[in-house]
Chains A and B, each alone.
Chain A
Amino acid sequence: MSIRRPNFSTVMLVLGLLFLYLPMFVLVVYSFNASKLVTVWAGFSTQWYGELFRDQQILSAVWTSLRIAFFAASMAVCLGTVAAFVMTRYGHFRGKTALSSMVTAPLVMPEVITGLSLLLLFVQMAQITGWPADRGMATIWIAHTTFCSAYVAVVVAARLREVDHSIEEAAMDLGSPPVKTFFSITLPIITPALAAGWLLAFTLSLDDLVIASFVSGPGANTLPMVVFSSVRMGVSPKINALATLIILIVSLATLLAWFFMRRNETKRKAALKDV
């Protein structure tokens, strides 16, 4: 192979990646700055990490956010998987157009609209049924489940379309009831997509500021809400330390995912060679 002149698209890819990563790199570097002024370098220090871990408000917000994200992602996986299954396996039924619109619309709906509309719903529900009397974790959980399930449905539907339908049909022809077929045949095949959907829903829920701000009450402050009220006042090295930790965790998780996906790929190729 001869050495090629780098073409336009490769140069753009490198520049695009630099554009995506340089600002995050700057955040990480300045989290180790001794000065309180984020933009002036005054020597290496880890004091902001210490302050971050002593900040009770941030710590309790992290715990609140993690709990909401865990339950929202789990429920979104149930809801999204059923929606994807119905969309790809059930042929035509009444309400299919409505369902498919409601599955794809949340993907692009501006957050302020979703947030406002859900808040109005909860207020109306409280007037009529008495629940929810206090908005907080439960209302955020419902809101996050709803918009996250759309993302799960798209991920799972993509996988369901790839899967060979005939195995499921064979099982049912041999007398396996639909519920059993789903749990013993379909579910194991789509498990990687469920895991991907759960992780995506988890990060989306952790990240949401706007919808949570609308539907939350005085009791529940999520991490983005605390970060936002701090960031509004200007840059702060403590937030840089928090950003560094988030970037570190996401990078490690992605690296791990990459490692496993590549290993599976090599295994599959090796298996194909043996045949």
Chain B
Amino acid sequence: MKPSRSSARSSAMLKRLQLGRRAVIAFPLVWLTLFFLLPFALVLKISLSEAAIAIPPYGPLLEYADQTLHVFLNLGNYLYLLTDSLYIAAYWGSVKTAFIATLVCLLMGYPMAYAMARAPARWQLLLLLLVMLPSWTSFLIRVYAWMGILSNSGLINNLLIGLGLIDSPLRMMNTQFAVTIGIVYAYLPFMVLPLYAHLTRLDNALLEAASDLGSRKLNTFIKVTLPLSMGGIVAGSMLVFIPAVGEFVIPELLGGPDTLMIGKVLWEEFFLNRDWPVASALAMVMLLLLLVPIVWFHRYQSRELES
């Protein structure tokens, strides 16, 4: 065999392999760039344009007239968000509500995940499926369930009045309480799942060693279990906090006039006022607020993905 021909063939094959490799990488990269990254650039662009009575309802950023290129960068939408206290209150309300709900989820979810990880092996899969099952049904319907429970003529009020504990119904629907309980209820499985994944990987030998060396249970928990499950705490908390900040369905169905949340404000700005530039500016500011938690979650997640 002539070495030159063989090397030519192998280099041709190598080229084909390289090409194939690039094509495989390009498929998800191009799709996600087009349908995930590029849209954010458009949100930024439209947040800088002026609202107009047109289809679509915003003005151009570039205009060419009289041999000059006019660039319009309208910061008015952002300034408008600062001047109207409604928006600042909505951002604050969202962050506060999401934070409280995340904390409640963590306090409920951690012991649940801990008990699951410590349960006999043949029970673990069943328990995991039981926790996840509600999240596979329907988000909307699970939020809707609380309307029937919390309303003035709802289950809890009927029960309490029937028992003679109260005379007039407690107002629970359309309150901060209802929104918080709705978020906790809807997102609890997403907190438990990563916590369980971390706690079940925990090496029992470490806990036994700590106990053999005379560490008390609480001490062992704080010094061994808690630090080793930190990844699960971060992942679970971010999986609850970030979507909860932008939540629309829960404040719309369970909230009232005093429960301002930014997801609902954005929805109304877009669908009711048809002010696309202000809705885009609202989205940009929300994204900016969530940048740190998203990067934090991404760091953790890509470590998991690559390790």
Contacts and interface: CB of A to CB of B under 8 A. Distances in A.
Contacts of A203: 136
A206 B140 CA distance: 11
B126 interface: yes
A112 B264 CA distance: 9
B273 interface: no
B146 interface: yes
B238 interface: yes
Give the interface SS of chain A, mostly helix, strand, loop or mixed.
helix
Contact of A247 (B126, B137, B286): B137
Interface size class of B (residues with CB under 8 A): 35 or more
Interface stretch (A55-63, A184-192, A251-259): A251-259
A27 B40 CA distance: 39
A10 interface: yes
Nearest to B245: A110
A178 B252 CA distance: 51
Given A86-B28, A110-B263, A116-B283, A146 B115 contact: no
Contact of B249 (A27, A88, A209): A209
B148 A38 contact: yes
Contacts of A121: 35, 38-39, 42
Interface string B272-307: 000010011001001100100110011001100111
A51 B140 CA distance: 20
Nearest to B192: A16
A104 interface: yes
Contact of B153 (A37, A228, A247): A37
Contact of B294 (A87, A105, A213): A105
B266 to A, nearest CB: 5
B298 A101 contact: yes
Nearest to B118: A9
Interface in A86-142: 86-88, 90, 93, 95, 98-113, 116-118, 120-121, 123-124, 127, 142
A118 B39 contact: yes
Contacts of B144: 27, 227, 231, 235, 239, 243
A90 B37 contact: no
Given A146-B36, A258-B126, A110 B247 contact: yes
Contacts of B134: 20-21, 24
Interface in B7-34: 17, 20-21, 24-25, 27-29, 31-33
Contacts of B42: 117, 120-121, 124
Contacts of A207: 138-140
B247 to A, nearest CB: 7
Interface string B35-78: 11111101100100000000010000000000000000000000
A220 interface: no
Interface stretch (A42-50, A66-74, A77-85, A163-171): A77-85
B305 A13 contact: no
B131 A20 contact: yes
26 contacts: A8-B111, A9-B111, A19-B108, A24-B137, A27-B148, A40-B158, A86-B24, A87-B306, A90-B21, A99-B25, A99-B28, A99-B32, A103-B32, A107-B239, A108-B238, A108-B293, A109-B243, A110-B246, A116-B279, A121-B42, A146-B35, A149-B28, A153-B28, A178-B20, A209-B140, A235-B144
The 3 A-B residue pairs whose C-beta atoms are closest, nearest first, are: A110-B246, A117-B39, A12-B111
Interface of B: 17, 20-21, 24-25, 27-29, 31-33, 35-40, 42-43, 46, 56, 108-109, 111-112, 114-116, 118, 125-127, 129-131, 133-134, 136-142, 144-149, 151, 153-155, 158, 185, 188-189, 192, 238-239, 242-243, 245-249, 252-253, 263, 266-267, 270-271, 276, 279-280, 283, 286-287, 290, 293-294, 297-298, 301-302, 305-307
Given A10-B115, A83-B28, A214-B270, 14 more contacts: A20-B134, A27-B141, A90-B21, A95-B29, A102-B29, A110-B245, A113-B286, A116-B43, A117-B40, A145-B35, A146-B32, A178-B20, A178-B21, A210-B267
